[in-house]
């Protein structure tokens, strides 16, 4: 049962073939069996999950009309506030903090009856591409436990690929949903900026952050997308427009006549051979399904990584000022008449990890007088050029595509001492964030040289998220029929009981 898709679980619940309590118990059992190896979760609340499940079962028994995902379990990235449940964003500075309110994503999940199993591990404050920057230790890739699951939403991606949950929520500031989805062989979507409320999402870089769904199939991700998207007056950047019909698009999958643009700048040098091979193979499949493949040129994408690593650290240096040891979170050194400033300095030193400090310092530098124009100012202009490149490209094509990650899952420790090498993991995903548009990663197969999953990235204009699902579903159906099953069924068993 736990290997089923969320759509199948939903159907089984509706037909009365199983109950949410039973489904939740199976997933809690799986977590106790395998999470000591995978370490996807920071906090599991079995009792609360079973209570939520029992409430959905009771509602169903009483004939109440329920959301399709009612009773289906989910893993929640620890960056989202959930009332009364420890929420740390992977940081020691928030250890033990229990939010007094729900984020809007959690409010929507609860309203839909989705059962929240627990909170998943992440790079501290979502800063990283491997989940090694968590203040609570790394998460391990279920495909190979010596490798990272990517990041920053590595815990969510690992939970879904290890069958600990059929669905998960992540957040994507520079690729933090799509890259871990690619590295763990599942589907991950970064919706259009403003499509999903950021209220209660602990901020890293406010102009780039966006929460989104993980699933093992395109349809599962679409079902979760519909639950969490929609206008929210509590987020001033929330888009006040109807949610694109992503579930209908995922059920259609018709790509005939669509123009698919291959971005010249996001392939070639630096892309692993097996990644490029699976990408090209997917293009051939799309072409055989009746799509038209065109080449598009986005010259300023070459500068996207540099712009991102100025804009995101600049915004984070401001956002993380709120961790001041005064109102919540850690406070150290509050003794012998120490001043507020001394306590603040000591607390931030003790509570923040290495990468967070590095980015705060970089952002402080980029925003300091004398350097502002040369660094932050230039980065903002590059951002404009990237938006213009996308605009031109979307005249030539309905969707744009690239490999999601230039490489497959890398070894734990391989890049953790080299920040620049780690930053390169996001080279193909970052342009989407800078432009505020939407992107999906779905499995394209295994790289021949290492037998690890490769992700295929699809990008669409703002609020055209349904195009991701339309093309993703078409490609997925063809690949699944070629493979004789979903890619994730090839993942190792992890020695779990069921």
Q: From the centroid of its chain, how far is CA 249?
A: 21
**Which is closer to another protein, CB of 31 or CB of 310?**
310
Asked if 233 interacts with another protein (CB under 8 A), we say yes
Asked if 375 interacts with another protein (CB under 8 A), we say yes
Options 114-122, 213-221, 282-290, 298-306: segment touching another protein (CB under 8 A): 298-306
- Residue 48, classified by CB atoms within 10 Å of its CB into exposed (0-12), middle (13-18) or buried (19+), is middle
Asked if 343 interacts with another protein (CB under 8 A), we say yes
Q: Are 383 and 311 in contact (CB under 8 A)?
A: yes
Q: Read off the DSSP letter of residue 349.
A: H
Q: How many CB atoms lie within 10 A of CB 253?
A: 19
What binding mask, one character per residue, do residues 78-117 give for another protein by CB under 8 A, x or -?
-------------------xxxxx----------------
Quote the least distance from Cβ 55 to another protein, whole Å. 22
Q: Are 196 and 228 in contact (CB under 8 A)?
A: yes
Phi, psi of 402 (to 5 degrees): -165, 170
Asked if 399 interacts with another protein (CB under 8 A), we say no
Quote the least distance from Cβ 274 to another protein, whole Å. 26
The correct pick among 34, 127, 250, 379 for binding another protein (CB under 8 A) is: 379
Give the tokens for residue 253.
């999958």
What binding mask, one character per residue, do residues 54-83 give for another protein by CB under 8 A, x or -?
------------------------------
- Residue 483, classified by CB atoms within 10 Å of its CB into exposed (0-12), middle (13-18) or buried (19+), is middle
**Which is closer to another protein, CB of 58 or CB of 374?**
374
Q: How far apart are CA 480 and CA 218, in angstroms?
A: 12
Options 289-297, 358-366, 450-458, 468-476: segment touching another protein (CB under 8 A): 358-366
- Check residue 185 and give left, alpha or beta (phi > 0: left; psi -120 to 50: alpha): left
What is the size of the binding site for another protein (CB under 8 A)? 72
What binding mask, one character per residue, do residues 172-211 give for another protein by CB under 8 A, x or -?
---------------------xx------------x----
Options 25-33, 258-266, 391-399, 429-437: segment touching another protein (CB under 8 A): 429-437
Options 113-121, 250-258, 360-368, 484-492: segment touching another protein (CB under 8 A): 360-368
What binding mask, one character per residue, do residues 300-339 give for another protein by CB under 8 A, x or -?
x--x-xxx-xx------x---x--xxxxxxxx--x--xxx
Q: How far apart are CA 35 and CA 30, in angstroms?
A: 8
The correct pick among 435, 447, 478, 488 for binding another protein (CB under 8 A) is: 435
Q: How far apart are CA 281 and CA 27, in angstroms?
A: 35
- Residue 63, classified by CB atoms within 10 Å of its CB into exposed (0-12), middle (13-18) or buried (19+), is exposed
Residue numbers annotated as active site = 77, 152, 176
Quote the least distance from Cβ 368 to another protein, whole Å. 7
Q: How far apart are CA 265 and CA 289, in angstroms?
A: 25
> How many Cα atoms within 13 Å fall on the side-chain side of residue 19?
15
Asked if 447 interacts with another protein (CB under 8 A), we say no
The closest alpha carbon to 226, from 384, 112, 386, 62, belongs to 112
Options 39-47, 149-157, 230-238, 253-261: segment touching another protein (CB under 8 A): 230-238
The closest alpha carbon to 470, from 375, 367, 399, 387, belongs to 399
In the region spanning residues 244 to 283, those forming contacts with another protein, defined by CB under 8 A, are: none
Q: How far apart are CA 64 and CA 69, in angstroms?
A: 14
The correct pick among 3, 322, 381, 392 for binding another protein (CB under 8 A) is: 381
**Which is closer to another protein, CB of 291 or CB of 407?**
407
Asked if 383 interacts with another protein (CB under 8 A), we say yes
The closest alpha carbon to 77, from 235, 183, 209, belongs to 209
Options 164-172, 175-183, 268-276, 368-376: segment touching another protein (CB under 8 A): 368-376
Quote the least distance from Cβ 157 to another protein, whole Å. 25
**Which is closer to another protein, CB of 251 or CB of 331?**
331
Asked if 357 interacts with another protein (CB under 8 A), we say yes
Q: Read off the DSSP letter of residue 295.
A: E
Where are any strands of DSSP class E within 53-166? 73-77, 115-120
Helix/strand/coil for 425: helix
**Which is closer to another protein, CB of 143 or CB of 390?**
390
């Amino acid at each position: 049962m736990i290997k089923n898709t969320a759509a199948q679980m939903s159907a089984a619940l509706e037909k009365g073939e199983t109950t949410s309590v039973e489904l939740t118990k199976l997933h809690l059992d799986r977590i106790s069996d395998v999470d000591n190896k995978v370490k996807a979760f920071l906090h599991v609340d079995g009792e609360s999950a079973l209570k939520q499940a029992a409430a959905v079962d009771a509602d169903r028994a009483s004939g109440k009309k329920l959301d399709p995902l009612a009773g289906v379990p989910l893993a929640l990235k620890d960056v989202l506030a959930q009332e009364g449940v420890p929420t740390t964003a992977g940081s020691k500075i928030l250890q033990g903090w229990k939010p007094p309110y729900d984020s809007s994503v959690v409010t929507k999940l609860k309203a839909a009856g989705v059962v929240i199993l627990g909170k998943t591990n992440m790079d501290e404050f979502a800063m990283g591409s491997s989940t090694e920057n968590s203040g609570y230790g790394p998460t391990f890739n279920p495909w190979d436990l010596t490798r990272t699951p990517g990041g920053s939403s590595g815990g969510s991606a690992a939970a879904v690929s290890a069958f600990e949950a059929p669905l998960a929520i992540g957040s994507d500031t520079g690729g933090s949903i799509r890259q871990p989805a690619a590295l763990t062989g599942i589907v991950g979507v970064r919706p259009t900026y403003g499509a999903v409320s950021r209220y209660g999402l602990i901020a890293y870089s406010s102009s780039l952050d966006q929460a989104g769904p993980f699933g093992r199939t395109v349809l599962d991700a679409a079902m979760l997308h519909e639950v969490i998207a929609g206008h929210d007056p509590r987020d001033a950047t929330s888009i006040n427009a109807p949610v694109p019909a992503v579930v209908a698009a995922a059920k259609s999958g018709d790509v005939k006549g669509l123009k698919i643009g291959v971005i010249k700048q996001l392939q070639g040098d630096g892309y692993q051979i097996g990644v490029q091979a699976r990408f090209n193979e997917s293009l051939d499949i799309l072409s055989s399904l009746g799509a038209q493949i065109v080449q598009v040129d986005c010259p300023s994408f070459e500068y996207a990584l540099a712009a991102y690593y100025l804009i995101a650290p600049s915004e984070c240096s401001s956002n993380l000022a709120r961790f001041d040891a005064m109102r919540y979170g850690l406070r150290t050194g509050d003794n012998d008449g120490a001043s507020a400033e001394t306590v603040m300095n000591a607390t931030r030193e003790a509570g923040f990890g290495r990468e967070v400090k590095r980015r705060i310092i970089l952002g402080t530098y980029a925003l300091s007088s004398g350097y502002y124009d040369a660094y932050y100012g230039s980065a903002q202009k590059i951002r404009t050029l990237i938006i213009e490149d996308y605009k031109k490209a979307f005249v030539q094509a309905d969707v744009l595509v690239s490999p999601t990650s230039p490489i497959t899952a890398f070894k734990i420790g391989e890049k953790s001492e080299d920040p620049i090498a780690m930053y390169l993991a996001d080279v193909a995903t970052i342009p989407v964030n800078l432009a505020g548009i939407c992107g999906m990663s779905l499995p394209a197969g295994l790289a021949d040289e290492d037998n690890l999953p490769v992700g295929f990235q699809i990008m669409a204009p703002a609020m055209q998220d349904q195009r991701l699902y339309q093309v993703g579903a078409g490609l997925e159906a063809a690949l699944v029929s070629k493979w004789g099953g979903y890619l994730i069924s090839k993942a190792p068993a992890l020695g779990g009981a069921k």
